[in-house]
């Protein structure tokens, strides 16, 4: 029961952090903008430029997702769904590098960072996550570790 309480606490605290960051941003941006338009950047929750309220919102979102994942993981521990998503967790370094090289790299080269719409960003993330799940699932059927994890193990011993 205590684990469930912790998971719900993570969800509530994370959601409160996101809501608090967005609320503070909505209050502070017009105030700071009236003093000096450049000061408004200090209160943004946008990814570019990354400011303290963006960090708070990001940490809150991560905390919420962690709580939800723990809650669902416990409830779905005997589900076949976990057989599909577990390999992606074992290939986290590979997928992180792929997200930088295949996801962020082309966007940066095209000069589009910070200009994609929320919808385009969401669709890109969904496609990347789907492809990551497929890659990890099929890779794990032939190899114990992901490519980057194998390389790190070989280099680090």
Q: What is the mean pLDDT of residues 45-62?
A: 90
Do 71 and 107 lie in one domain? The reply is no
Do 116 and 68 lie in one domain? The reply is no
Given 46, 75, 104, the domain boundary residue is 75
Question: What is the model's pTM?
Answer: 0.67
Task: Round to whole Å and give the CA distance between 124 and 99.
Answer: 11
What are the angstrom distances between the C-alpha of 79 and each of 72, 82, 86, 91, 138?
A: 10, 6, 11, 20, 18
Do 16 and 58 lie in one domain? The reply is yes
Do 58 and 16 lie in one domain? The reply is yes
pLDDT at 1: 43
Count of structural domains, the chain: 2
Place 2 in a pLDDT band, splitting at 50, 70 and 90: low
Residues 9-34 have pLDDT tens digits of 999 999 999 999 999 999 999 999 99
Do 45 and 85 lie in one domain? The reply is no
R_g (Cα) of the chain, nearest Å: 19
Residues 63-83 have pLDDT tens digits of 999 999 888 887 888 888 888
Q: What is the mean pLDDT of residues 107-117?
A: 73
Given 50, 75, 100, the domain boundary residue is 75
Most confident of 40-44, 63-67, 118-122: 63-67
DSSP the chain: -HHHHHHHHHHHHHHHHHHHHHHHHHHHHHHHHHH-GGGGGGG--STTTT-HHHHHHHHHHHHHHHHHHHHHHHHTTTSTHHHHHHHHHHTHHHHHHHIIIIIIHHHHHTT-TTTS-HHHHHHHHHHHHHHHHHHHHHHHTT-SS-HHHHHHHHHH-
Do 101 and 114 lie in one domain? The reply is yes
């Amino acid at each position: 029961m205590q684990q469930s309480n912790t998971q719900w606490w993570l969800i509530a605290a994370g959601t409160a952090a996101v809501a608090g960051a967005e609320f503070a941003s909505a209050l502070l941006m017009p105030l700071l903008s009236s003093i000096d338009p450049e000061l408004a950047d200090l209160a943004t929750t946008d990814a570019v430029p990354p400011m303290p309220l963006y960090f708070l919102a990001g940490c809150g979102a991560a905390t919420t997702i962690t709580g939800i994942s723990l809650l669902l993981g416990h409830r779905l521990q005997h589900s076949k769904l976990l057989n599909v998503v577990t390999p992606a967790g074992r290939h986290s370094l590979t997928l992180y590098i792929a997200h930088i090289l295949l996801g962020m790299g082309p966007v940066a080269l095209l000069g589009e960072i910070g200009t994609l719409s929320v919808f385009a960003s969401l669709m890109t993330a969904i496609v990347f996550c789907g492809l990551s799940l497929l890659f990890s699932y099929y890779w794990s059927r032939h190899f114990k570790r992901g490519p980057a994890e194998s390389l790190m193990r070989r280099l680090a011993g």
